[in-house]
Amino acid sequence: MSKRLTLKIHGLVHGVGYRYSSQSMAKKKGYIGYVTNLDDGTVELVAEGKERSLKQFVNWCYNGVGPAIVHKIDQSWSEATGEFSDFVIKS
């Protein structure tokens, strides 16, 4: 069953390749959605895919991007909407 996972990632996540690395991993895993920098210094990531796989992706988001330092990730789960066709970086 497909789920939608919305993450707000807090820490040193701007200017360290976080969006590009997370996009690469999301595409590798077959997720659809987006990632974007927010004005408050956080990163918002929305991904749709299989729930079990998305739960593993949250763990990757904490440690997967070399120079990033993630302090906290807020998670929100809902049903997938299917509105996306790819995983993109929003400016």
Asked if 21 and 90 count as a contact pair (C-beta separation under 8 A), the reply is no
Annotated catalytic residue 63 = no
For 30, the enclosing helix (H) or strand (E) is none
Active-site hit among 19, 52, 59, 63? 19
- C-alpha distances in angstroms, 28 versus 25, 31, 46, 86? 5, 8, 15, 11
Active-site hit among 4, 37, 52, 63? 37
Annotated catalytic residue 19 = yes
Place of tokens 């595409």: 27
Strand runs (DSSP E) across 13-85, as ranges?
Answer: 32-37, 43-50, 69-79
Q: Catalytic residues, which ones?
A: 19, 37
